[in-house]
Structure 1
Amino acid sequence: MNSPTIGHPDIVLGTLLAKGGRAHRLARLTALHEICRRHQELGSCDFSLSTIGRLAEAEGILKGRVLYNMQSADYRKLILSWATYAGPPTLQPSKPLASHEYLMRIQDPAIRSIMQAIIGERDKLRAEVNLLKSNAQVVVDRRPIGARGPGAAIVLPTTTHGHDAQLTPSEREALEKAVSADYLDGHGLHESSHGEIVNEHGRTVFDVGFARAIRKILGA
């Protein structure tokens, strides 16, 4: 852990105190050293100026913002020695998304696959909606389909095929099962008044309108 150029924090403190100076400054250095020592003994590797500044301010040693001043180079050197001694901070494993956790609880692989596709489509639509919201103005063309303005190209009708025609029998059966009361109850879930799926703790698993959307896809 020790750095060959910075040295153990005790040695760094001794060097800084040996420089002399006002008694108030020497007392601050010693107190800051003890704060860092206790922080390291608790197993922390976070010796950022913001973190140590908050600890020092909480104990009335100095204001956290003082550490960023040009005159506080000795304080920063002492903190850096502790950061080097403690080693780099331990990276915390990323927490899986709540939707992923609930997907993994679905034992039927067919339903899990369909649910995953639905969540992906939901996230895509949500991103598109947010993009539209970011635009200050949205121009909606309400002219009849096929109408043509001066110098404008003909607007051709667009045919949209329903999702129902794209479902296989097994996919339809899986979707029907996914929103059935018996299946949801068996997995500790239930459908709320606005079509959202919530767990036994009242936490929303799938957003408002989820069950209704599936039934619309099924043509129910």
Structure 2
Amino acid sequence: MNSATFDHPNVLLGTLLAKGGRAHRLARLKALHEICRRHQESGSRDFSLSTIGRLAEAEGVLKGRVLYNMQSADYRELISAWATYAGPPTLRPSKPLASHEYLMRIHDPAIRSIMQAIIGERDKLRAEVNLLKSNAQVVVDRRPIGVRASGDAIALPTTTNGHNAQLTPSEREALGKAVSADYLERHGLHEGSHGEIVNEHGRTVFDVGFARAIRKILGA
């Protein structure tokens, strides 16, 4: 590209028009140049072929797909000059995760910290389950306990309150408060029929069984 195009696309436009050619081509170059000028003055830095093609097509200058043709090198060079003049596109800020937005609505730092740990554990378990689903075949033995072939070990169900013993009184109180109807209502949330936590828009914040799982941990 000519170094002059780094000063202003007007210079390149003059060079392209000086090459001559059919009047229709010259008119298109001028029209495309004007579209790019208005686009740049609007504050946009997006000068991709698809974006400029849509603008040109909307004004009846040319079909957007024409810009990809071999014969449209001059059009692409002009657009490229405007892209250089406008500067690199502004990066869009990354959108925070929905779970993070909900956490920020919890004003009590103790409960927010506990909820954050629970969400992290949930995401970890979900990833492990998805990994198992994709890499393993699970054989479910539906025979009643005790009905096994000779020589098979008999596994009996066990229960444990290990989580209970690990919680401090303040942690137990915070968890109980987090799933209480009054606390949920004050924060625009409510518990669904299957233990899920739902916001005022009907969207699930915490999955099915969440509230029940906390109550089981607390031994309620």
Q: Deviations over 1:182-201 (max 9, x none)?
A: 11122222212232222333
Q: Which residue of 2 aligns with 1:121?
A: 121
Give the match for residue 137 of structure 2. Answer: 138
TM-score, scaled to structure 1: 0.82
User: Percent identical across equivalent pairs?
Assistant: 86
Q: Which amino acid aligns with 2:75?
A: Y
Q: Secondary structure at the match of 1:198?
A: strand
Paired residue for 1:210?
210
- Aligned twin of 1:90: 90
Amino acid of the structure 2 residue aligned with 1:37: R
Amino acid aligned to 2:95: K
Q: Does 1:170 align with 2:170?
A: yes
After superposing on structure 2, the runs of 4+ consecutive aligned residues of structure 1 that deviate more than 6 Å are none
Matches within 5 A, 1:57-206: 57-135=57-135, 138-140=137-139, 142=141, 162-206=162-206
Shift, 1:160, TM fit:
8.2
Kept in 2, the 8 Å contact 1:57–1:64? The answer is: yes
1:36 offset after TM fit, Å?
0.9
Q: When the two structures are aligned, how many residues end up with a matched partner?
A: 212
> Which segment drifts farther, 51-60 or 75-84?
51-60
Q: Decide whether aligned partners of structure 1 residues 211 and 80 sit closer, same or farther in structure 2, where only a CA change above 3 A counts.
A: same
Amino acid at match of 2:102: Y
1:45: which partner in 2?
45
Assess if the C-alpha contact under 8 Å between 1:56 and 1:64 holds in 2. Answer: yes
RMSD (Å), alpha carbons: 3.0
CA-to-aligned-CA distance 1:161-193 (integer Å, 9 cap, x gap): 543333222221111110001111222222122
2: CA distance between counterparts of 1:129 and 1:57? 49
**1:5-38 CA distance string (max 9 Å, x none):** 5431111111111101122211221121111112
SS at match of 2:61: coil
The answer on whether the counterparts of 2:13 and 2:33 sit within 8 Å (CA) in structure 1 is yes
The runs of 5 or more residues in structure 2 that have no matched partner are none
